[in-house]
Amino acid sequence: CYLALPQPADKVQCMYIWIDGSGENLRAKSRTVHFTPKSPKELPIWNFDGSSTGQAEGHNSDVMIHPVALFKDPFRGGNNRLVLCENYSHDGTVHRTNKRHSCNEVMQKVKDQHPWFGIEQEYTLQDTDLHPFGWPKNGFPGPQGPYYTGVGANKVYGRDVVEAHYRACLYSEVKIAGENAEVMPAQWEFQVGPCEGIDMGDHLWLARFLLHRVAEDFGIVVSFDPKPMPGDWNGAGAHTNYSTEAMRQPGGMKVMIEAIEKLGKRHASHIRAYDPHGAPTTSGD
């Protein structure tokens, strides 16, 4: 294996990772640096061709990527690093697709409340033809029931991918909390958290990247689509658990109810924001 070849001590591979213009998909490319970075601020700002990622016009296509979070690289090992980045326009302004920047501004404003997040990310494993992995090609598996937290080759599909992803997250020091098979066959879930503030987004997106990258080695596609299969099949979501320090103290239930009432006033717009394309939704979706 080429990865078993010795790597020069003064050469470190850094894979820069960013979210593309879809708001859903991740992109990545690598560069060599001559030191082991301890902080993302030590790494150089880089750029990519935004006309190929839905983030720029062809006549002025440079989009700048600023390192914001570092993780150990489970694929290359050693001192090599995965580098989560924010997107900036060529003139130095925050790129329209850079949602992390505005999120971090909010997190800084409320940091004295110590907001904690835990996210349960459901997903579906698919063959490269985008048919659910392990499903009959000309039919459907049996009705839902035995698959959730199931054990056995006739109940779960793709556990090798799930276990490899779990270990890769642990190695990378992503705050993965667990995993389980979900209700629809070939559907799984992993949990990340608790994380405070902007760390939640960083660790969730890195866990998603690792899942795509691990599944790639198995020739399997990962879908985060909330309804990848029409019909009476369980949907997939990213369920968010949240609390502030006040909610975690005695009497915190009152604070929770106040927050829920505030959220309820903007429920429709919050649900719409879950779709990167801002598609309208109906209540109950």
Q: Residue 278: its pLDDT value, please?
A: 65
C-alpha dihedral sign at 130, 133, 136, 141: negative
- In the numeric block, the tokens 């960013």 are attached to 18
Number of H helices, E strands in the chain: 5, 10
Q: Residue 203: its pLDDT value, please?
A: 98
Quote the mean pLDDT of the chain: 94
DSSP-derived 3-state class of residue 158:
coil
| pLDDT surpassing 90 at residue 57 | no
Percent of the chain at pLDDT > 90 equals 87
pLDDT band at 254; cut points 50, 70, 90: very high
DSSP 261: H
Cis geometry, peptide bond prior to residue 194 (ω within 30 degrees of 0): yes
DSSP 263: H
Q: Write out the two tokens for 39.
A: 């902080």
- In the numeric block, the tokens 């658990």 are attached to 241
When pLDDT is averaged across residues 225-234 and rounded to a whole number, the result is: 91
Decide if 5 contacts 72 (C-beta within 8 A): no
pLDDT band at 280; cut points 50, 70, 90: low
Q: What are the DSSP E strand ranges found in the chain? A: 12-19, 26-33, 46-49, 62-72, 81-89, 116-126, 176-181, 187-196, 221-223, 238-243
Of the ranges 5-9, 23-27, 199-203, 225-229, which one carries the lowest mean pLDDT score? 225-229
221-223 and 46-49 beta bridge pairing: unpaired
Query: Could you give all domains of the chain from N- to C-terminal order, each with its CATH number?
Result: 9-103 (3.10.20.70), 113-238 (3.30.590.10), 243-273 (no CATH)
Residue-wise pLDDT tens digits, 116-140: 999 999 999 999 999 999 999 988 9
Decide if 119 contacts 202 (C-beta within 8 A): no
Q: Write out the two tokens for 168.
A: 């890769």
Contacts 24+ apart (CB under 8 A), 246-255: 246/113, 248/116
Q: Quick one: which of 64, 187, 169, 172 has its CA closest to 121? A: 187
Decide if 217 contacts 205 (C-beta within 8 A): no
| pLDDT surpassing 90 at residue 151 | yes
